[in-house]
Chain A
């Protein structure tokens, strides 16, 4: 049996596709909102769909905010996806101003209504877009993106994007209608993606595969 990944269920996510992706790469997903199940797991994923304020409210209601921070502090592999990436930031301006989990410094902004030439920007961004290493580098700085082509297409669905304060946290950059933004972020044992690897066909599944390899090769003792 593969190592256990807690898929954090705060009542409003597309857990099925995340769980299926985990199984596909040999991990055993445990869908849970219980802090003790989370803390027992070998790794964790904070998914995917919903509104920022509502999500934070649900995390608080299930008493998951402290346990998520503890889990990350224990250096166990942790992956955020889409809204799960945004929740790791300090705060968001989605439907009012909301405090986030404050794992990464930076905030969450809405795409502007028009580009520099005044052309209307369609929001949400829905569809496939390319990811590039930051600073026009040709190599990825993260193990999770190993094997991914520079400029690979990934699947995005979002109206808000992350602005990271620390350049070195930025794993990839994406350009949507002239807005160049941080499309994945990472540090130590935490990685997060604005796109949905589990919806990005074979190339997205490569990220899950890298996540799985990293969990299985982890030399850290399991707590």
Chain B
């Protein structure tokens, strides 16, 4: 039996807020991460990913608090990335309640930290986050700091290297597609997935249900989605407009505007679609209020 493909909401965090940008920039405040996390858990998310996307600018205690509050009420895996520099940083995040850590900048600067981390915490605890940008010549290069910092590292080679160094999984972001709703970059997914044996989580560009099946057929072991889920939650939840910290770009939440780049969907709709397409996923659960079929 083919393995179960995971559906993973990604939550970008800036200070106390859940944010969403386009190409990882132009961040809008959407609400409190814990509210979104709880909703996704109750509605059948297979895992959650938190990315502290401006980690260096904020006090890490705030992130630890968010992790701890989340882990108190959700019983599915949580991966946390953003601004992790040392083995002690990783230990702190794992102790706060995360199950895995995602590394990007530090891993590229000092690849040895991957083997050190995987020997300390186990390979499966170490996720390498790759932010890929397609070059005019067709090559994919890895960037850091939300796609802003050029590294010159070729994505396919880097994926092979991190596997060799002991990474357990790759979180593969197409910076070009992030927040655009134009669909996953399937060339990127196929190129990376064919070169390595560790799982690949595809992220960046999901704008409609069909995009998910295309990503899986290109070789994704898991699909990560943000805009489709977040804006669906914003539109359909009872969370009040005031339910976020008054900092950052809150204009979107206060204006009543709609986000039109993606088709809104909840997790159940995505999974029902996957099952119809013959893609296995965890689906027949009945925990707190979750309805799927």
Point out residues on A near B: beta carbons under 8 Å.
Answer: 12-17, 20-21, 24, 49-51, 54, 83, 95, 113, 120-129, 153, 155, 157-159, 175-177, 196, 198-205
Contact = CB atoms under 8 A, between A and B. Distances in A.
25 contacts: A12-B91, A14-B97, A14-B99, A16-B94, A17-B99, A20-B97, A49-B121, A50-B120, A50-B122, A51-B118, A51-B122, A54-B119, A122-B197, A122-B198, A122-B221, A124-B198, A127-B222, A153-B285, A155-B77, A157-B77, A196-B77, A201-B285, A202-B75, A202-B286, A202-B288
Given A50-B121, A54-B119, A128 B4 contact: yes
B68 interface: yes
Contacts of A13: 94
B75 A204 contact: yes
Q: How large is the interface on B (under 10, 10 to 19, 20 to 34, 35 or more residues)?
A: 35 or more
Given A155-B76, A158-B124, A176-B3, A126 B199 contact: yes
A91 B3 CA distance: 28
Contacts of A24: 75
Interface string B177-208: 00000000000000000000111000000000
A116 B68 CA distance: 43
Nearest to A113: B197
Q: Which 5 A-B pairs have the closest CB atoms?
A: A202-B287, A128-B282, A16-B97, A153-B282, A124-B124
Interface of B: 1, 3-6, 41, 46, 68, 71-72, 75-77, 91, 94-99, 118-125, 168-169, 197-199, 221-222, 281-282, 284-288
Contact of B75 (A50, A51, A201): A201
Contacts of B287: 201-203
A201 B120 contact: no
Given A15-B95, A17-B99, A201-B76, A127 B71 contact: no
Contact of A122 (B95, B199, B281, B285): B199
A33 to B, nearest CB: 14
Contacts of A128: 4, 6, 46, 281-282
